[in-house]
Amino acid sequence: MSVQKILDDWKKNSFKPIYWLEGEEEYFIDKVIDYAEHNILPESEASFNLSIFYGKDANWADIINACRRYPMFAERQVVLLKEAQQMRDIEKLEAYVENPLTSTVFVVSYKEKKLDARKKFAKLVKEKGVMVTTKKLYDREVPEWTQNLVHSKGLTITPMGLALLVDHIGNDLSRIENEINKLSVNLSKRTNITEDDIENYIGVSKDYNVFELQAALAAKDLARSIRIIQYFEANPKAGPIQLVLPSIYSFFSKVFMIFGTGTTDEKTIATAIGVNPYFMKEYLQAARLYTYPGVERALLLLHSYNLKSIGVGSSTTEDASLMKEMVVKMMA
């Protein structure tokens, strides 16, 4: 069962006695815990029928006693165990898991870890309740997830705005949602998030960022490339070399793939190399201007300068100087 399915069931007042949420992605676990804490019970019932424990301080016997208690003046009670991964003797909860009350909704947050699936306790949790194991999204999955989140809030976002947002934040899903919420407030009556909004409300320059550097390199525009690198030099957080070089390497890797597609159809190429069709002109432009040997050379240069950026063969050169030197050689 997915996190969304759990939330959908709860909204329909359909509950299982036990929910065990474990794994790497805290965002999804927190979503369920937050809903359970604030939405399952009406405020008038929560004061009597909501119990919250924290793994570090919780005693297994106290949790079992709370779970076995019957709700007061209500149909059900909710018992939450947060940070359960810090709890000692957690497997002693087996006595309750084996025979849970249907009037108790017991929700466990077990972050960054998973139960040993070979042990009896894990098998019992899976048999008697709902177990969800969360995983971190791959970087390639984050843009689609972010776009779906934007749409779920009744908003849209431009392709460049989406790219800037995801590139700036990475795969911190909680922060992405917080920033989207902040944007939605500042949009007033508008519903479309643009790159201007990303710049104004999140602080990412729409003119000086890794995507603009990518576009300048694709066009073999040396002067513009140098201006962007100088901006990175003056604003180190805007474009650290450790993030810029992998992004540019990914760009040229996909340009390199174009030569093996055997087609000139943009949509087919976009699908084959895994690129949003909106950005295809840059990739095709780079393929045309650099040609196969030039793209191959760019990839070798990127590999070489990535090593230099971590001190291999170049221990004193500034990051900006390394990038300037690299782009000059790329376009030579």
75-128 pLDDT, tens digit per residue, is 999 999 999 999 989 999 999 999 999 999 999 999 998 999 899 999 999 999
Using alpha carbons, select from 254, 246, 249, 239 the residue that is nearest to residue 298: 249
Tokens for 279, please give them: 């950005």
Topology annotation, domain 139-202: Helicase, Ruva Protein; domain 3 (1.10.8)
- Spatial distance between the Cα atoms of 197 and 201, rounded to a whole number of angstroms: 6
- Spatial distance between the Cα atoms of 285 and 282, rounded to a whole number of angstroms: 5
At residue 26, the pLDDT reads 94
Residue 135 confidence (pLDDT) above 90: yes
The mean pLDDT value of the chain amounts to 93
Amino acid sitting at position 110: Y
Residue 1 confidence (pLDDT) above 80: no
CATH of domain 210-331: 1.20.272.10
**Range with the lowest mean pLDDT among 152-156, 192-196, 314-318?**
314-318
Distances (CA, A) of 233 to 176, 209, 230, 238, 287: 26, 12, 5, 9, 28
CA 156, distance to chain mean position in Å, is 18
Tokens for 153, please give them: 């809030």
165: left (phi over 0), alpha (psi -120 to 50) or beta: alpha
Residues 6+ apart with CB under 8 A from 13: none
Tokens for 305, please give them: 């300068």
Residue 315 confidence (pLDDT) above 70: no
Query: Domain extents for the chain?
Result: 3-134, 139-202, 210-331
More confident residue, 10 or 140: 10
- Spatial distance between the Cα atoms of 134 and 124, rounded to a whole number of angstroms: 19
CATH class of 3-134: alpha beta
Residue 316 confidence (pLDDT) above 70: no
Give tens-digit pLDDT for 7-22.
Answer: 999 999 999 999 999 9
- Spatial distance between the Cα atoms of 134 and 28, rounded to a whole number of angstroms: 7
- Spatial distance between the Cα atoms of 240 and 130, rounded to a whole number of angstroms: 43
Give tens-digit pLDDT for 210-230.
Answer: 999 999 999 999 999 999 999
Residue 317 confidence (pLDDT) above 80: no
At residue 237, the pLDDT reads 85
Tokens for 244, please give them: 């810029």
- Spatial distance between the Cα atoms of 236 and 247, rounded to a whole number of angstroms: 16
Q: Is the pTM of this model over 0.85?
A: no
- Spatial distance between the Cα atoms of 254 and 214, rounded to a whole number of angstroms: 12
Specify the residue for token string 């949003």: 276
Tokens for 157, please give them: 């976002």
Residue 314 confidence (pLDDT) above 70: no
* DSSP label at residue 235: S
23: left (phi over 0), alpha (psi -120 to 50) or beta: left
- Spatial distance between the Cα atoms of 305 and 295, rounded to a whole number of angstroms: 15
